[in-house]
Structure 1
């Protein structure tokens, strides 16, 4: 497959992450001469949660995101996190979780998603082990189903939800077109689907965008939705994204 850099103009990017992460990444990219516009599409809101799951002893507690850690910690209100073996999906989640629980946290070696987590040696033999997954409302059932298949009993603790941000869709689309936005950085399926909702009245323009994502699953979903130009990022970390667009021999050859 031909590389994006060979057939497309210099990127002008829409950063759809949650605030304040969207602006932080946009600012860093703009400093490197990669035009970027921050426009969060979803926001995080707490869910009224009880401490009921924490009254039960779990062998393993898995955090899906930094938000899951942060909002769970808010519910705990300074109480000590339970004794358990802790695991996290991504690097930022691991860092925050380790800080909150005061102990080491296991992390996938390379692929920071459910598949990478399931490859860990710690999650191979799970007969009679009980596991609590910290996450937001909704999402894939894949991780839970695989853990159960390996012999574990699994519960969720959902401490937050993602909700759409209200803003003028038509005005925003016009602005994005005037700014010659030609690509979007997408970090979740929910963000991709929200982008489609926002731009549903200008689908031809929407599908002309290049979707940049660090997830094979999101990339495949984008293709299924009709996007013809997709690029797989090496990671969702700010530095890796900046390197992708600015390193010699990568995206910035025109």
Structure 2
């Protein structure tokens, strides 16, 4: 098997940080964020965080934690039980709140969160989900169906970065890229937009590495020939995977 030469499409500065760690251990990696994050109009509306009384607060990304922390400024985080979608987000949330943060054992997505025992009997519980604008509704819909009262705080949004796809694809070919780290379906579909259609055959011969089976299954449905599930999206989990 050829040694991995990876394109990292995560948000900046996460992409550069991860590529530096991978290169330091001898795995060739190149950072190219495809989306950027910007605050939303909801960023300043933190009344729910200051006055709301929640049983659980769930963070579905590290960006959601960072933007919430910036919005709160010097105000304390609410008293609640905290949960995170994965270990990377868990570490950021634990640092921000100074509180214990629960995380799924294996599957780091909405399905993994929903399998946590603490979310199985939540009739009448109040839950706040910290996330970017838009995204999957499975978590909220399922928790609501279980009897919880669910609200969102969405302080940031994902915005496409304008890129010259032809030049980038030419560069990636020269670098002999053979794998792409993708953290969401949205990034996967953005990659298809950035890369010219004439280069999609080449692109779909690259291995997709993603943190959930849902993303890899979607990649295969779009025509990728190879897709592997990563153990998570925390930097060290990815570094260890490619050792």
TM-score, scaled relative to structure 2: 0.92
> Which residues in structure 2 correspond to 1:44-63 (within 5 Å)?
44-49=37-42, 50-54=45-49, 55-63=51-59
Aligned-pair CA distance for 1:45: 0.8
C-alpha deviation, 1:237, in angstroms = 2.5
Name which of 32, 35, 38 aligns with 2:31: 38
Cα distance in 1 for residues equivalent to 2:93 and 2:234: 17
**Distance of 2:170 and 2:27 partners within structure 1:** 21
Q: What's the counterpart of residue 28 of structure 1? A: 21
Q: Which residue of 2 aligns with 1:87?
A: 83
Equivalent residue for 2:6, pick from 13, 28, 36 = 13
Cα deviation, 1:92-142, whole Å, max 9, x if unaligned, reads: 322222233332222222222212211222111111111110100111111
> Residue 114 of structure 1 aligns with which residue?
110
Aligned counterparts of 1:126 and 1:53: Cα–Cα separation in 2: 20
Correspondent of 2:155 among 156, 159, 165: 159
TM-score if structure 1 supplies the norm length?
0.88
List alignment gaps of at least 5 residues for structure 2.
Answer: none
CA distance in 2, matches of 1:87, 1:235: 16
Alignment of 1:59-208 (within 5 A): 59-201=55-197, 202-208=199-205
In terms of mean alpha carbon deviation, does 192-201 or 92-101 score higher? 92-101
**2:124 aligns to what SS in structure 1?**
coil
> Deviations along 1:200-249, whole A, 9 cap, x unmatched?
33211111211111210100110111111112222222223223222xxx
CA RMSD for the aligned pairs?
1.6
Cα distance in 2 for residues equivalent to 1:25 and 1:56 = 36
Please say which structure displays the higher CA radius of gyration: 1
Determine the C-alpha separation between the residues in 1 that align with 2:13 and 2:98.
26
**Correspondence for 2:230:** 233
How far, CA to CA, are the matches of 2:28 and 2:6 in structure 1?
6
Residues 101 and 236 of structure 1: CA distance in aligned 2, closer, same or farther (over 3 Å) = closer
Distance in 2 (alpha carbons) for counterparts of 1:234 and 1:77: 33
Deviation at 1:18, TM superposition (A): 1.1
Structure 1 stretches of at least 4 aligned residues deviating more than 3 Å after TM superposition: none
Post-superposition Cα deviations, 1:158-207, rounded to whole Å, max 9, x if no partner, equal 01011111222211111111222121111111111111110133211111
Deviates more, 1:32-41 or 1:141-150: 32-41
Native 8 Å contact 2:62 2:93 kept in 1 = yes
